[in-house]
Amino acid sequence: MPADRLRIALWQCRSVADDVEGNLDRLEQAASEAAEADADLLITPEMYLTGYNIAPSTARRLADPVDGKLGDAVGNIARRTGIAILYGCAELDGSGVYNTVRLVDADGISLASHRKTHLFGEIDRDAVAVGVSSPPVIDVGGWSLGLLICYEVEFPELVRDLAVRGAEVICVPTANMPEYDAVQTVLLPARALENTVYVAYANYCGVEGDLAYGGLSEGIGPDGRVLARAEREPGLLIVDVERKVLDDARERFTYLADRRTDLLS
């Protein structure tokens, strides 16, 4: 029987580059705060553990192997605080460095990972290789979560594919800038409504090097309604995902059921 509710904590924080140990300490503090708020899942921004606006050499130096010690450390944090965590990092696999999100459950067990498939400008292309696998859909607490990273959610076909594969909540660690606020104010409500899914979007705020981040982390309901939206400052945003709201939205907005797949290429 699917759970009636999933409580998600979206962590809007400042990016601190090249301070992995400090970032782990801050992550444990955020996870403890989220757990105290009775959240089931904490979502960090994109490449949280290493910083996002970093040189290619720094990304390679800080990148965690697939079964590396940073993954173990986050698993221990999840186990100590009793909350699932979706976090971003640079990941090393062979000679390749990837922009990756990893999901661990409240027992610290690795559930899934995803490498960014749609890279944003030279800042991504200089530092990381492109992911080649479709984003996963994974169960957490009786809810099907689809995993995307930042720029990917701006491509409607990616979100639609996740929804068709059963995703009910699209989780998006991100590093978005103020000049692209339209993503939060226009695109995300549309993505949620047209696919009747929840969207949980966790962004940075503040400045990292020469890059400013726009905040506006938010949770969107499956009817396109903004459930909660942060401002520009750091904070923890709590969003409740509810089964009845999802069921009602899918009964009212029947886009998924009404698709003419025979006309699609």
- Catalytic member of 89, 150, 171, 205: 150
Query: Exposed/middle/buried for 60, CB within 10 Å: 0-12, 13-18, 19+?
Result: middle
- Which strand (E) or helix (H) includes residue 67? none
* Gap between the Cα atoms of 184 and 174, Å rounded: 11
Count of alpha carbons within 13 angstroms of residue 199, beta-carbon side: 36
Contact (CB, 8 A) for 185 and 230: no
pLDDT digits (tens, 9 = 90+) for 174-192: 999 999 999 999 999 999 9
The three-state secondary structure class of 263 is helix
Q: Looking at residue 79, what is its pLDDT?
A: 98
Annotation marks residue 171 as catalytic: no
Annotation marks residue 21 as catalytic: no
- Catalytic member of 89, 116, 154, 205: 116
Q: Looking at residue 265, what is its pLDDT?
A: 78
* Gap between the Cα atoms of 199 and 146, Å rounded: 9
- Catalytic member of 28, 46, 168, 218: 46
Annotation marks residue 150 as catalytic: yes
Q: Looking at residue 2, what is its pLDDT?
A: 65
pLDDT in tens, the chain (265 residues): 468 999 999 999 999 999 999 999 999 999 999 999 999 999 999 999 999 999 999 999 999 999 999 999 999 999 999 999 999 999 999 999 999 999 999 999 999 999 999 999 999 999 999 999 999 999 999 999 999 999 999 999 999 999 999 999 999 999 999 999 999 999 999 999 999 999 999 999 999 999 999 999 999 999 999 999 999 999 999 999 999 999 999 999 999 999 999 998 7
Q: Which two tokens stand for residue 28?
A: 């444990």
* Gap between the Cα atoms of 98 and 100, Å rounded: 6
